[in-house]
Amino acid sequence: MREYYDGLDADGYPVNDGVWRKPYVRGDESDVGEFNPVSIGQGLVSMVERAGRFREIGANCDSPIEEEIGAAILMKFEHAGQPLRLCLVQDLKEPVDGLLLVPQFAWGYYRSDWAILNPKRTGALLIECDGKEFHSSAEQRAHDTKKDAAALGRGFLTMRFTGSQIHRDPDGCAQKIFDAVTG
């Protein structure tokens, strides 16, 4: 206890008229409800992991949104215990096991931003990152529709994400992709 009265309680909060009050706080601890703090360490680990995925993807993408969703996909599958192997098109000539994540996947006359393949099966999940610059005009949308129809004809499923969706929630986009692959 303090030897002298300085207008503060033992915790350093002002005492007014003998009633203990925290400044600028209304209510009490019961008003807070469930509180689950996230340590800075967890956030930092996630940032470092995502940066590592960006480096792993490297120069295999044409745009930042492709890099962003690629990193999110790799992290989502890894955290779910089903890691994908990042595989360049030239690596597809060698026999491999497990699911592959292929950037700039060429098929027919087209190229998709990403593909998830199982080398032991036919078909693939194609992932398209539709930035506003290249996918907003009527002509560009018609081309995308034609491309999706051609993919379906080959047994490929296409998922499209806008640049805004990817920037706003890359992990949510990766979750949708994970659900489509595992679902």
Residue 8: pLDDT over 70: no
Stretch 118-128: mean pLDDT: 87
CA–CA separation, 173 vs 6, rounded Å?
Answer: 56
Amino acid letter, 111: R
DSSP structure class, residue 60: G
Q: What DSSP designation does 33 have?
A: -
Residue 46 — φ and ψ, nearest 5°?
-65, -40
For the ranges 46-60, 87-101, 123-137, 168-182, the maximum mean pLDDT occurs at: 168-182
Going by pLDDT thresholds of 50, 70 and 90, the confidence category of residue 47 is: confident
Give pLDDT tens digits for 50-107.
788 877 787 788 888 899 999 999 999 999 999 888 887 655 566 677 889 999 999 9
Supply 148's token pair.
């999706």
Tell me how long the chain is.
183
CB distance 109 to 119 below 8 Å: no
* Gap between the Cα atoms of 73 and 181, Å rounded: 11
Could you tell me the pTM of the whole model?
Answer: 0.71
Mean pLDDT of 13-39: 58
The torsion angle over the Cα atoms of residues 125, 88, 118 and 158, rounded to 10 degrees, is 10
Question: Across all residues in the chain, what is the average pLDDT?
Answer: 79
